Amino acid sequence: MTEVATNGHGAHVEHAPAPPPTGLRRFTAPGWWRVLWMMPLFWGIGAGIVLLLRWYAAWDPLWEWNALVVVAFLTTMPIGFLAGLGAFDYWVHYALGGETLPEDHSGHGARSWKDYFRVNTDHKVIGIQYLVTTFSFFVIGGLAAMVVRAELAKPGMQITDNQGFNGLFTVHATLMIFLFVIPAFAGLANYVVPLMLGAPDMAFPRLNALSFWLLPIGGLMLVGSFLAPGGPPAAGWTGYATLSTHLPMGTLFFNMAVQWAGASSIMTALNFLVTIITMRAPGMTFWRMPLLVWANFTTSLLVVLATPFIAGSQFFVMFDRILHTHFFNPVGGGYALGYQHIFWFYSHPAVYIMVLPGFGIISEIIAVFARKPIFGYRLMALSMLAILVLGFSVWAHHMFVSGMADYLRVPMMITTLLIAVPTGVKVFNWLGTLWEGRIHFTTPMLWALGFISTFVIGGLSGVYLGAVPIDIHTSDTYFIVAHIHYVLFGGSFFTIMAGVYYWFPKMTGRMYNEALGKIHFWTTFIAFNLTFFPMHLIGTRGMPRRVADYAPQFADWNLFISICSFALGASIVIFFYNMIHSWKFGPKAPGNPWHALTLEWQVSSPPPVFNFDEIPQVIGSPYEYGVPGARHALLNGAKTHELEEVER
């Protein structure tokens, strides 16, 4: 099939894919066969560098596992994996002075399931790769949580030992944060943002592919850490030094996994920023962009500015461990609290990285299903920018009990409470959008409404925790666990669900089962609240978090929480059944099942390889629902698709 499409970026010709290489050619062409020999090769290079340096410097012992693990296993071998898969092919060709190739687009589009397992430069394929990968890690992280809850069902030790328990909740939290929430948003945005902007793809498609493939590397490192001698990383997802510099080798896997995932998110963020700044369709001014695009714009700025700090903090921990440096070791003049300052300077902005894209998704869904223009559009965008700025000034509220300088406490408390203002603006604007709207209770809308209710609870407990006295009382109790799950599960996860259901027809071309979707929502919503709400109670009574055993007076509540958490885990099965079954057998989806105005719904489901036959002309706001005669954009393609649907 040859499809010629013209747009502002010149003619795109879709080529038929080259026939798969056979025989020995398999081993030289990019792909999994080449990975087979390139991974050991690069492992050898890494190990060789380490051994050569150690031999030259006459260090003893020559064969030092910590250094070998970091360099050979966790750095060069993954690079070999990427090289084997072909992530660097074009750049190597360019660097060695090859001719600039005319883009043949053979890396675009997916014709069979195999195309999802290679370096694909199509943002829609990458978006789906992201989502499937992140949900796989979500399952692993969820299973770890189930084991944690099983252990906590009764006082005393039943299933694991203390160190194993520490490893389980560490891997659970790290997977959920770095391998699920952050990249799942990146995946949804990867699929949707270029479509919403009226662009044929992201600004740097090859960089986009590379940043996706860094992700499974980071995730497999974390999962693989269970095989490391001494067990998985066990210092919590925060990995506080100096504990983390003294634990067994698994911590190195944590350090490096975070680096890989962090590099992935920095690259994606740069890509989003450049795409949003340079690739908007004609007429798409900043004040006509959908709020999801705004959300990803601010999130990407946060990622670009904050993520290097976690990279730094993990480097320091790693150096303290393998080079015996003294960043955090007070004996040699290091400053132990420095880790927490540097870590939270990233990780507080990171909580906004984990929720701002969700705000964007919710804004889309609420406007569409309330059939009303979004209330206070500009204020919605500006409040996100306010969160961006304020987010950098609140990090020390995680450290009220750490022994840091006292004078930092009150300023941090004030800035923390101030952040509630732009967040409150958003919540009230959503409520204002719903006010007197014609609300359609579809599955995405249910998730969006569920999100608002749970997120308000999580946000309010956040305000409690921002106040120094309450924070000192509840530090490291289950109140914190309840808070983080209300904002991350009730916040981020609910928005990811809303987004997945909302764009499922667009991504797969099939409709999901609405009844199952609603059952999934209600079981999750009820089980979620029953699981995490009681944690507020036992937390204020003093049940400590991150401890495998606890005092007997908390036994009843913990048993109840554990049972509800298993129900919560089981509710996910409904989701996976619905998604997989509908992807294969669901009824065909029309181009615009929700009657939405934003650009991604104006093309077929799934969209053609280069999204738009002709770059659309944007003429108005994306949210003018119910306004007679209002149009967001003019498309030629849309007319033909509408005709096709009528004929069908």
Partner 1 sequence: MLLFIASEVMLFGSFFTAYFFIRVVNGYPWPPEGFELPRYVAGVNTAILVTSSFTMHWALQSIRRGNRAGMQAGLVLTFLMGLTFLLTQVIEYARVGFAPHDNAFTTIFFSLTGLHGAHVFVGLTILLFMTIRAYRGHFSPEHHYGVELGGIYWHFVDIMWIVVYTTVYII
Q: Cα–Cα distance between 489 and 496 in angstroms, integer? A: 10
Q: Which is nearer to partner 1, 282 or 403 (CB)?
A: 403
Helix spans in 63-114 (H): 65-68, 77-85, 89-95
Largest separation between any pair of C-alpha atoms in the chain: 80
What would you report as the CA-atom Rg of the chain, rounded to the nearest whole angstrom? 25
The interaxial angle of helices 291-322 and 356-370, nearest 10 deg, is 160
Residue 470 touching partner 1 (CB under 8 A): no
Q: Which is nearer to partner 1, 317 or 465 (CB)?
A: 317
Of the candidates 53, 323, 460, 551, which one interacts with partner 1 according to CB under 8 A?
323
Of the candidates 19, 23, 97, 229, which one interacts with partner 1 according to CB under 8 A?
97
Q: Which is nearer to partner 1, 315 or 576 (CB)?
A: 315
Give the contact letters, 328-367, x = binds to partner 1 (CB under 8 A), - = no: -x--xxxx-xx--xx--x----------------------
Q: Cα–Cα distance between 139 and 137 in angstroms, integer? A: 5
Of residues 14 through 33, those in contact with partner 1 by CB under 8 A are: none
Q: Cα–Cα distance between 353 and 35 in angstroms, integer? A: 33
Q: Cα–Cα distance between 296 and 347 in angstroms, integer? A: 18
DSSP secondary structure code for residue 599 in this structure: G
Shortest Cβ 114–partner 1 spacing (Å): 32
Residue 132 touching partner 1 (CB under 8 A): no
Placement of tokens 């603006």 in the chain: 425
Shortest Cβ 521–partner 1 spacing (Å): 38
Residue 114 touching partner 1 (CB under 8 A): no
Residue 304 touching partner 1 (CB under 8 A): yes
Give the contact letters, 264-293, x = binds to partner 1 (CB under 8 A), - = no: --x---x--xx-------------------
Of the candidates 166, 255, 307, 492, which one interacts with partner 1 according to CB under 8 A?
307
Placement of tokens 């199509």 in the chain: 122
Residue 250 touching partner 1 (CB under 8 A): no
Segment lying near partner 1 (by CB under 8 A), choices 91-99, 480-488, 542-550, 628-636: 91-99
Shortest Cβ 319–partner 1 spacing (Å): 7
Placement of tokens 């949003």 in the chain: 276
Placement of tokens 């992280």 in the chain: 141
- Report the run of H or E that residue 592 belongs to, with start and end: none
Q: Which is nearer to partner 1, 56 or 113 (CB)?
A: 56
> Residue 158 is which amino acid?
Q
Segment lying near partner 1 (by CB under 8 A), choices 102-110, 183-191, 326-334, 438-446: 326-334
Shortest Cβ 101–partner 1 spacing (Å): 13
The 10 Å CB-count burial string (b at 16+, else e) for 77-115 is bbbbbbbbbbbbbbeeeeeeeeeeeeeebebbbbeeeeb
Q: Which is nearer to partner 1, 152 or 318 (CB)?
A: 318
- Half-sphere CA count of 376, side-chain side, radius 13 A: 19
Of the candidates 33, 319, 428, 566, which one interacts with partner 1 according to CB under 8 A?
319
H helices then E strands: how many in the chain? 21, 4
List the one residue out of 278, 269, 235 whose CA is nearest residue 253: 235
Shortest Cβ 549–partner 1 spacing (Å): 35
Give the contact letters, 41-80, x = binds to partner 1 (CB under 8 A), - = no: ----------------------------------------
Coil vs helix vs strand at 588: strand
Of residues 422 through 451, those in contact with partner 1 by CB under 8 A are: none
The residue length of the chain stands at: 648
Shortest Cβ 275–partner 1 spacing (Å): 12
Residue 391 touching partner 1 (CB under 8 A): no
> Residue 524 is which amino acid?
T
Residues that bind partner 1 (CB under 8 A): 94-97, 100, 266, 270, 273-274, 304-309, 311-313, 315-316, 319, 323-327, 329, 332-335, 337-338, 341-342, 345
